[in-house]
Structure 1
């Protein structure tokens, strides 16, 4: 995956004139920010661009978006432009890519969160797929007050704030956006249906709700 991203960036810059001596450091910085070790000579690999992105599974495209959201490129305008171009290209495959990037930037944790045993990999895998492929789900949920309810929701995205892994969703019971701690979700069931036509609007609603929450503090 790292070689893909590095080759993508290298291909994007092949006709550019980057600042002297900064090319390799940018690639190394991008690799480190994406949570991987930089590979020497990555730019010498085969050039990768939109066709290569289109060949990736949706899950890997989502992973790239998550990693780019965690990349603090504000101090490097060239790297920032590379990221923006990559998101624009991913957006030709996943129209909601730019909104997902903004959403994950809003929920970027201030510290690392360690998954608990209650947040089993199987349940998270089902939720990730339900978000990616816009499948409704239902489950039993225990809230922070200990109250138990049954919910049917349209899963929007899994986010990782410092308080714990959460599912952002549109709750059909409440007819509103809601956040659910994954460790308190039980009896998860996936239902037939496809709300992909609504997903971009639901993501935008989740962004606005988060922004309103931040503005209130």
Structure 2
């Protein structure tokens, strides 16, 4: 690994890891000797990174000179913490883990006074009743939405009637009791909402509907709002 790439990787490890991180752990992740790792730490310090610690005690990234300071008000920080913790409570495991990592990245980029407020935020989120567990992989659905690829799946509606659907997946919504997919349904020739816990045997096709997802989603939301107001 080239030195520049190694220094960049080292900064990433320091940003995302749980401090203090020992030289042995960092060296093993980078595939270098502990001696080389100490030289790399010194190099980062010369470049402006504030790294606390020394041999035998582990290292903690205090300030990252490569990243501009983030300006958040106290209330904005509370909102970010609450939102990310809500994701940890309600979303699927992949999104929940991503929210946890995002909090760690955010903390590493904040000045210490604000990082302290983030670590000890007065707002929190907890759900005693979790949403119904999906029968299909939400990550696969998210990817299909972003890639704008049609999908097929088996579906059982609220009355217990089963069918096979081919749809254009548009967006996922996380509600209190279930996660739903908003999609254009070929069977109904209209927009429909499908609960993930009633879906099964999900298949992503090679059929693309790009670049129609955003306008279709806007049309779907407009239709739902109109129906709700009637």
TM-score range, shorter chain: 0.5 to 0.7
How far did residue 7 of structure 1 move? 6.1
Alignment partner, residue 125 of structure 1: 139
**Alpha-carbon deviation of 1:9?**
5.5
Match of 1:204 among 218, 225, 230: 218
1:1-217 superposed matches below 5 A: 10=71, 24-35=73-84, 39=107, 42=110, 114-117=130-133, 119-120=134-135, 123-216=137-230
Aligned 8 A contact 2:132 2:177 in 1: no
| Cα deviation, residue 210, structure 1 | 2.2
Cα distance in 2, alignment partners of residues 182 and 147 from structure 1: 15
User: Which one scores higher on RCO, CA 8 angstroms, separation ≥ 6?
Assistant: 1
Distance 1:8 1:202 in 2: 38
Runs of 5+ unmatched residues, structure 2: 1-14, 16-66, 86-102, 113-126
Report the CA distance shift for 1:8/1:210 in structure 2 as closer, same or farther (over 3 A). farther
Q: CA deviation at 1:163?
A: 3.8
Matches of 1:24 and 1:175, distance apart in 2: 47
TM-score by length of 2: 0.50
CA contact (8 A) 2:174 2:180 kept: yes
Say how many residue pairs are matched.
Answer: 133
Report deviation, 1:123: 1.4
TM-superposed CA distance for 1:183, in Å, is 0.6
Corresponding residue SS for 2:191:
strand
Deviation at 1:29, TM superposition (A): 2.3
Q: Which moved more, 1:184-193 or 1:26-35?
A: 26-35
Larger Rg: 2
Looking at structure 2, the residues matched to 175 and 144 of structure 1 have their Cα atoms a distance apart, in angstroms, of 19
**Do the aligned partners of 1:7 and 1:42 also contact (CA within 8 Å) in 2?**
no
- Checking the alignment, whether the CA contact within 8 Å between 1:140 and 1:149 is kept in structure 2 is yes
Larger strand proportion, structure 1 or 2? 2
Comparing 169-178 and 202-211, the one that deviates more = 202-211
Q: Deviations over 1:76-120 (max 9, x none)?
A: xxxxxxxxxxxxxxxxxxxxxxxxxxxxxxxxxxx8862334x15
Let me know the Cα RMSD of the aligned residues: 3.1
Q: 1: distance between equivalents of 2:183 and 2:68?
A: 35
1:8 to 1:132, Cα distance in 2 relative to 1, 3 A: farther
